[in-house]
Amino acid sequence: MTDLPLDPVAIDVGHLLHRTVTSLYAHLVTRPTGRAVRMAIETQLEGMGDRSLSLIDLSEVSVLDFSCADEVVAKLVGHYAAAENKEAFFVFRGVHEPHRDQIEVVLERQSLAAVGETTPGRFELLGARSAEEDAAWRTVETRGLLGRDDVEEALASPALRDALERLVQRRLVYRSPITGRVHALSRLVAHLM
């Protein structure tokens, strides 16, 4: 059995947008459009196993308004963060400046956070988070993974170790149920990019 019992999937929102909402433009600018795209993503996730990892690619979306950021990012993250029967992890790719403010605001309003690729190869924690969560996340992100024995050395203070537990609960890092190793989500989606 593997350390990573996750079903990975890459979802291109630009492609979904063209397929779901017949439009020539890659604009996510109305709540109904955002809802249609989110529902199409959720349909794809229904076929996944108990644990899934999704790379949601926003690279081809040129305009993203607040209502669509709420529908596609915040509602997706919030729904699966609360789900008890399915562990879903998300990384949002292509979170460029025109998208970033909208995503940050809708996540913060709902006390949510997500991992986003803001420039190629650079991942950041977006949304609501404490300074300790941010520091613990950056440590995992920099190292790629932490084994059980690495946690105390890498996260010297109890506050940082508590923050790591919150990151695991919030599904912002992945802890293997088999080995207990904590993985950066960016490394787990690298082969999907």
Per-residue pLDDT of 129-174, as tens digits, reads 999 999 999 999 999 999 989 999 999 999 999 999 999 999 999 9
Share of the chain above pLDDT 70, in %: 90
For the beta carbon of residue 135, count every other beta carbon within 10 angstroms: 16
Q: What are the residue ranges spanned by the domains of the chain? A: 7-130+185-192
| Nearest in space to 17 (alpha carbons), one of 55, 66, 56 | 56
pLDDT tens digits for range 60-89: 888 888 998 999 999 999 999 888 888 899
Domain made up of 7-130+185-192: CATH architecture = 2-Layer Sandwich (3.30)
DSSP conformation class of 138: H
Whole-angstrom Cα distance, residue 33 to residue 65? Answer: 11
Tokens 């960016």 -> residue = 186
Whole-angstrom Cα distance, residue 68 to residue 36? Answer: 10
**0.85 exceeded by the pTM?**
yes
